Structure 1
């Protein structure tokens, strides 16, 4: 799996589907290896190769279950049925290709399992349609706020449970609500417009209060996965389905599957089976999402990671690292800092700095400063000039960050002024 996958709400894409395709290809290779086990002198490992092929048959069938919003109990049962069917075919024809009699004797049993599971899947399909849907209950409870650590919900109103089948996966709030999130840029506050869905396993409700049937009916129509997440980016939370893609971090959780990828490793869990490479760290205990159903605001918290998205901008926080995006403007703050807006870019980090505005470029690297402006290039080999450029570039990014967070965009007049001041100071080092 490679980083940078892009989730599509209704298409078969993403880490688990790619892994299924890889396992399918690996199964084909193992089948060829097993077929030519004699010339390859692998006959002592005959049974082990068969076990591996059967295991991969079930693995890629289970990983390929449904689409992101189509995972059901019947889908899992049908995947198991397909796994047993292909196993029965493999074992049946394997008796003419050198498979041990002890293994080929299970061909009939595997086929019987496939038939029974297919019948069970057909019966469960109706159950899936009726019972395993996302639904707001017609019961209301008092809401007086909720505390999720760095994220707090303030306000008052009513909270309605959201259930997937019989399991509660979240709440819908009706009333006054304000979300507050602590970030390295300060506290972000947003007043939310009802209705607001909170995908969490925690309880946010108080005593029971009278419900509004009209509100329940309208919200049930709004809780349509395709309407909510079509083309809305890489963070999806429906309580039972969770998808998060961030800077160097990908996380997927379904009822029977969990996938996590970080720069230090990858881990896939299918039921009780865990497959990992490297050390990706511990999966987050909980993923919290707060979302306006009629507007574009969404806040998602996964472990120490926080992502806020509105119709105008998005902010992602990981520890002390902050990334802000709005249109063609991007701001990153952390060990390295950078600002990009159209033909303007400023970056500082790891002993280097670069400022570009229109056709003027000032860069500092390896103790040297290079200036390109007006068709001319100047080089300054002076440690003080180098430190000056690094310092000013960082100040420019931090100064512009306040306006970006407030939605005001880059202050071009102020930026031009700061770059001109820097050029004036650097002229003292030329010649």
Structure 2
């Protein structure tokens, strides 16, 4: 199984683990001085609390450096058992009750040390399993494919669909055929002709009628499906959905689910679930519905949908949609549409929204807000106190973003000549307000 890191030591989970470790140390000190503090009546309760905290902070610390793995969880339990055995071994001279030292005791230093040894052996054996790559298999079965719809995402065309299984669970399909993907976005419909083979990660049954398989295609598809190569590029958004393992990483958003651990991280907050415990910091949006990804196995196209979030990647551009917010990136050109719209590329930036606007084109800067317009051009600065002039800048800035945005989405990039002409036109109109 893979190890997935969750923001390393900055993560909420690891911060809580450190707090629990400090709390366990403080509670041990309190337990040592239970006599002077007149807390003997709570002796057993404090011991149980110390043991619980030891296991809690060890489990919460799993994956701090190498990611969460099955062996990592087992080693954490082994460490918890070892530290508990040390505590109980020396604690018997410091006031442990017969609950932990008597003949009928179930939690003793000896038993916890034995657990630590056995769990360590189990962890070492499981670490060999962790080193293995997650395997899923393209089956030697073929079904007729005649298109599939996933709401705003449609996969059109025909060919043969081969099921992909992880164990006995259907996790996706590999399709051989002539395919075109369509996705509705706030900046228009994105259409892309796909090169076979195409992987569709979904548990939905997109084909049911059997047909004859191509053994050569099955062999090639199995060779191409490599999750580490396809999905663990840290510089790009990624998605994996295998039922027992779910990973989605996108712009400012991370969702990871592995056995015993679920992590959701967004700019607005973070939530960590460890077994039955749920810890939350800030406001967290949790993905609803099934994750979907459509990817060319021999090319650079990938479409990912998680709830209302949609990411489309090609060799030329990336589109990310989250609610009403759309971000388009191509090289150093970035177009963002939403409550605030903006356009950026090198020495060019245009931003407008919430009653303010700013244009920076080479050595020209125009800003407008609260009825005031400031213009800096040719080393000179001009100020215009006019609500009408301010509204003019807001309107023209939005028109420039929308106009250039169309050029970008069509793959033509920013038209600097047209942009400079529109800015000169705006400056000429503003100069009238200066008399």
- Relative to the length of structure 2, the TM-score reads 0.86
Alignment partner of 1:110 is 2:112: yes
Measure, in 2, the Cα distance between the counterparts of 1:425 and 1:233.
44
Deviations 1:381-426 (A, max 9, x none): 0000000000000110011111111211101111011101101100
Please state whether the residue corresponding to 2:241 is helix, strand or coil: coil
- 2:23 aligned with 1:30, yes or no? yes
Map 1:296-375 → 2, pairs under 5 A:
296-375=300-379
Contact 2:63 2:72 in 1 (8 A): no
Conserved in 1, the CA contact under 8 Å of 2:6 and 2:263? no
Q: Which residue in 2 is equivalent to 1:381?
A: 385
Instruction: Report deviation, 1:23.
Output: 4.5
* Corresponding residue number in structure 2 for 1:4: none
Structure 2 residue corresponding to 1:249, chosen from 245, 253, 256: 253
* Structure 2: distance between partners of 1:77 and 1:11: 14
* Residue 332 (structure 1) shift: 0.4
1:57 and 1:408, CA in 2 relative to 1: closer, same or farther beyond 3 A?
Answer: same
Question: What number of residue pairs does the alignment pair up?
Answer: 420
Give the match for residue 90 of structure 2: 93
Q: Is the 8 A contact 1:15 1:259 kept in 2?
A: no
Partner Cα distance (2:363, 2:300) in 1: 37
* Residue-by-residue CA offset, 1:353-378 (whole Å, 9 max, x unaligned): 00010000000012100000001000
State whether residues 291 and 298 of structure 1, in contact with CA within 8 Å, keep that contact through their aligned partners in structure 2: yes
Out of 233, 238, 241, the position equivalent to 2:240 is: 238
Q: What residue in structure 2 maps to residue 428 of structure 1? A: 432
Segments of structure 2 that go 5 or more residues without pairing to the other structure are: none
SS state of the match for residue 221, structure 1? helix
Partner Cα separation in structure 2 for residue 154 and residue 267 of structure 1: 38
Deviations 1:82-137 (A, max 9, x none): 44344333433343455554356513333343444445556666777889622222
Q: How does 1:204-243 map to 2 (within 5 A)?
A: 204-231=206-233, 233-240=235-242, 241-243=245-247
Contact 1:354 1:362 in 2 (8 A): yes
Whole-angstrom distance in 1 between the partners of 2:15 and 2:431 = 58
| Equivalent pair of 1:385/1:429 in contact (CA under 8 Å) | yes
DSSP 3-state at the match of 1:36: helix
Match of 1:14 in 2: 6
Structure 1 residue 75: deviation in Å? 5.2
> For residues 418 and 258 of structure 1, what CA distance do their matches in structure 2 show?
50
Q: Secondary structure at the match of 1:133?
A: coil
CA contact (8 A) 1:252 1:258 kept: yes
Q: CA contact under 8 A between 1:65 and 1:79: conserved in structure 2?
A: no
Check the 8 A contact 2:144/2:208 in 1, yes or no. Answer: yes
Distance between the aligned counterparts of 1:273 and 1:378, measured in 2?
60
* Shift, 1:197, TM fit: 1.0
1:145 is aligned to 147
State which drifts further: 347-356 or 54-63.
54-63
